């Protein structure tokens, strides 16, 4: 839908005047997402029905003015609601295996082909329609949450026990890490967090709210009469330890269920995304008299990385004690200590140091007291591993400084700082291999030249995500870490001791071969492990290239 040709055609057909087109173009400058037709409609310069009909004739497409009442199918049967919103596309009707799909822009051949392939993999053919972007967005907004799974559609919402059980079991089957049950103004929204993304799976009638909250509190061992924040636990599902948190909102109490597998397999450190170096463990993690810290925002896999490191270090010749809040995975051969309401990391760490440990894992450094004891333990012959919330590995130094740790203690004790982000991997069942486009090659090398790296794309390939039942129609399954590892070399230690800024420390680290996790992500894109689009969704590094 190119602006000038379409405008000329509309003038020829006397749908709009030249003055109307000029006014619409001015409007477009203020609202870049609007195409010329939508700008005309938004300004009320043309009749909407006449306009969409003329556009269909000009573009050779079937057209429709999309409205919520025209959607006669469950959208998530064909594509995820996230895919629909992101690409402005709606499956809205089906007859004899042919699905009617409405697009905001059918000139995007790549998108149209992806949706067609998604449907083909699910056993459907596609009939293509076009509508205004604004109409599609309004329809999707009104339908958000109606795309529930067949499990929820078939469940009797009057049987609250069965409904709650279905929500939890379906979350387990779909490998959700968290289940969010959220009272809204008119209903109850159920969302799963799968591979880091929130996916709306159902809307429960509002009249079930009181009974649903009561059931959740009963199985979580919470106080029924309390209308305030509570923590609980569900132990009735074999193989799972479910942590429950409630929070009062303006529409009622919201619940978040964290699904923890009791027998979860600890992944190999190389499977997580760490570089396949023969001496990786001895180089970065098998230390004495020091501290290693894994840093990242919440939900980026810090604890998983710690478990993978501990798994390698766990031998009969060492005494390993962990302090966790809570213990998420039970590991044979470890002495795992779970924090409770009366115990802090600092107080537990003091006790643990009298238990003759070689290695101590502290779930998180949250305050000065814990940081001081952890670094003191590292200075007195122990190896301490922990996590901290910062945006990258070098900012670990800043965070410790802000907590009140001296530059001397940081330089003398901190051995390694790791930071990471989790990026979704393409689904192996439906992703389609292809060569990199020239534009993709340009952007990758333009970013990489900042670190004096240039890629040769010979024999390299990437993927188009499609979507199938195996990946819940998202095109992605599982996640991989993009990683940066800062080793405190003698030069870095000197800069820390001198109180130099993290800018100066980063500059020196880059000169010594340090690379940020964004660059590790680019390498994984070129190696075909992740897609460029997914990396950019996480880091935004290609936005301005």
Residue 490: predicted pLDDT: 95
Distance, CA of 83 to CA of 167 (rounded, Å): 22
One DSSP character per residue, 102-159 reads EES-TT-HHHHHHHHHHHHHTT-EEEEEE--HHHHHHHHHHHTT----HHHHHS-TT-
Average pLDDT over residues 200-205: 85
Say how many CA atoms lie within 13 Å of 57 toward its Cβ: 10
Percent of the chain clearing pLDDT 70 (strictly above) = 96
Note the pLDDT of residue 96. 82
pLDDT of 520 over the 90 cut: yes
- pLDDT tens for each residue of 103-121: 988 888 888 888 888 888 7
| Strand intervals (E) in 375-468 | 383-388, 414-426, 432-434, 462-464
pTM for this entry: 0.73
CB 52 within 8 A of CB 91: no
pLDDT of 340 reads 78
Q: Which of 150-159, 162-171, 236-245, 434-443 has the lowest mean pLDDT?
A: 150-159
pLDDT attached to residue 157: 54
Report pLDDT for 107: 80
With 0-12 / 13-18 / 19 or more C-beta atoms within 10 angstroms meaning exposed / middle / buried, residue 33 is exposed
Nearest one of 316, 340, 325, 538 to 425, comparing CA atoms: 538
Contact at 8 Å (CB) between 216 and 234?
A: no
% of the chain residues with pLDDT over 90:
46
Average pLDDT, the chain: 87
- What local confidence, expressed as pLDDT, does residue 41 receive? 76
Distances (CA, A) of 457 to 110, 231, 514, 528: 22, 52, 23, 11
Q: Tell me, what's the pLDDT at 519?
A: 97
HSE, side-chain direction, 13 A CA sphere, residue 531: 20
pLDDT at 48: 78
Question: Could you tell me the pLDDT band of residue 230, with boundaries at 50, 70 and 90?
Answer: very high
126-138 residue pLDDT tens: 999 998 888 898 8
DSSP-assigned letter for residue 356: -
CB atoms within 10 A of CB 31: 11
Is residue 80 scored above 80 in pLDDT? no
Mean pLDDT, to the nearest integer, of 256-285?
85
**Cα 224 to Cα 363: distance, rounded to the nearest angstrom:** 31
With beta carbons less than 8 A apart as the criterion, state whether 447 and 328 touch. no
How far is residue 492's CA from residue 417's CA, in Å, rounded to a whole number? 12
| Banded pLDDT at 2 (limits 50, 70, 90) | very low
- The pLDDT, as a whole number, for residue 339 is 82
Measure the CA–CA gap between 304 and 452, rounded to whole angstroms.
Answer: 32
More confident residue, 512 or 107: 512
pLDDT of residue 152: 55
pLDDT number for residue 3: 44
Looking at residues 187-195, what average pLDDT do you find?
90
pLDDT bin (cut points 50, 70, 90) of residue 267 is confident
Q: Residue 4's pLDDT is what?
A: 45
CA distance 246 to 248: 7
pLDDT tens figures, 12-60? 877 788 888 888 788 777 777 677 777 787 777 877 788 888 888 888 8
The mean-pLDDT minimum among 46-50, 297-301, 311-315, 373-377 falls in 46-50
Confidence of residue 493 (pLDDT cuts 50, 70, 90): very high
With cut-offs at 50, 70 and 90, classify the pLDDT of residue 86: confident
Residue 309's region, left for phi above 0, alpha for psi from -120 to 50, else beta, is alpha
Residue 150: pLDDT band (50, 70, 90) is very low
pLDDT score of 76:
75
> What is the model's pLDDT at position 60?
83
pLDDT over 70 at 5, yes or no:
no
Would you place residue 158 in the very low, low, confident or very high pLDDT band (cuts 50, 70, 90)? low
Choose the weakest-confidence range: 133-137, 142-146, 277-281, 504-508. 142-146
Q: Of 207, 330, 357, whose CA–CA distance to 264 is shortest?
A: 330
The DSSP H or E segment spanning 455 is none
pLDDT of residue 389: 92
């Amino acid at each position: 839908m190119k602006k000038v040709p379409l405008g000329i055609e509309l003038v020829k057909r006397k749908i709009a005047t030249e003055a109307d087109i000029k006014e619409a173009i001015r409007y477009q400058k203020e609202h870049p997402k609007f195409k010329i037709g939508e700008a005309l409609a938004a300004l009320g310069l043309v009749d909407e029905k006449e306009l969409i009909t003329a556009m269909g004739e000009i573009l050779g497409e079937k057209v429709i003015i999309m409205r919520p009442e025209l959607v006669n199918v469950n959208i998530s049967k064909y594509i995820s609601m996230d895919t629909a919103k992101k690409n402005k596309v709606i499956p809205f009707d089906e007859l004899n295996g042919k699905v009617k799909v409405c697009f905001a822009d059918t000139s995007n051949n790549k998108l149209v082909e992806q949706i067609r392939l998604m449907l083909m993999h699910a056993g459907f053919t596609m009939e293509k329609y076009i509508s205004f972007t604004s109409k599609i967005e309004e329809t999707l907004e009104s339908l958000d949450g109606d795309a529930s799974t067949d499990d929820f559609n078939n469940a009797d919402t009057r049987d609250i026990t069965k409904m709650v059980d279905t929500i939890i079991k379906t979350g387990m089957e779909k490998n959700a890490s968290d289940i969010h049950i959220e009272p809204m103004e008119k209903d109850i929204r159920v969302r799963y967090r799968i591979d880091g993304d929130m996916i709306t799976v159902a809307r429960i009638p509002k009249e079930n709210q009181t009974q649903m909250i009561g059931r959740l509190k009963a199985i979580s061992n919470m106080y029924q009469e309390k209308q305030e924040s509570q923590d609980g636990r569900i132990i009735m599902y074999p193989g799972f330890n479910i942590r429950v948190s409630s929070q009062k909102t303006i529409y009622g109490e919201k619940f978040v269920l964290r699904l923890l597998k009791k027998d979860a397999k600890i992944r190999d450190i190389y499977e997580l995304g760490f570089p396949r170096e023969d001496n990786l463990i001895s180089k970065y993690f098998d230390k004495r008299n020091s501290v290693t810290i894994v840093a990242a925002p919440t939900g980026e896999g810090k604890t998983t990385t710690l478990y993978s490191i501990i798994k390698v270090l766990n031998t009969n010749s060492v005494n390993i004690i962990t302090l966790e809040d809570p213990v998420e995975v039970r590991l044979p051969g470890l002495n795992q200590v779970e924090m409770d309401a009366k115990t802090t990391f600092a107080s537990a760490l003091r006790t643990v140091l009298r238990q003759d440990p070689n290695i101590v894992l502290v779930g998180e450094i949250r305050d000065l007291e814990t940081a001081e004891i952890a670094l003191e333990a590292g200075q007195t012959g122990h190896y301490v591993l922990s996590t901290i919330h910062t945006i990258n590995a070098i900012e670990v130094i800043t965070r410790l400084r802000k907590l009140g740790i001296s530059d001397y203690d940081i330089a003398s004790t901190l051995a390694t700082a790791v930071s990471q982000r989790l990026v979704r991997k393409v689904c192996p069942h439906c992703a389609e291999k292809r060569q990199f486009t020239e534009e993709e090659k340009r952007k990758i090398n333009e970013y990489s030249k900042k670190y004096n790296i240039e890629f040769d794309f010979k024999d390299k390939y990437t993927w188009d995500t499609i979507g199938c039942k195996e990946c819940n129609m998202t095109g992605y399954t599982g996640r991989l870490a993009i990683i940066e590892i800062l080793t405190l070399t003698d030069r870095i230690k000197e800069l820390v001791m001198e109180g130099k800024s993290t800018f100066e420390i980063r500059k020196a680290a880059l000169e010594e071969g340090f690379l940020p996790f964004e660059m590790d992500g680019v390498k994984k894109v070129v190696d075909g492990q992740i897609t460029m689009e997914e990396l950019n969704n996480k880091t935004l590094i290609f936005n301005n290239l």
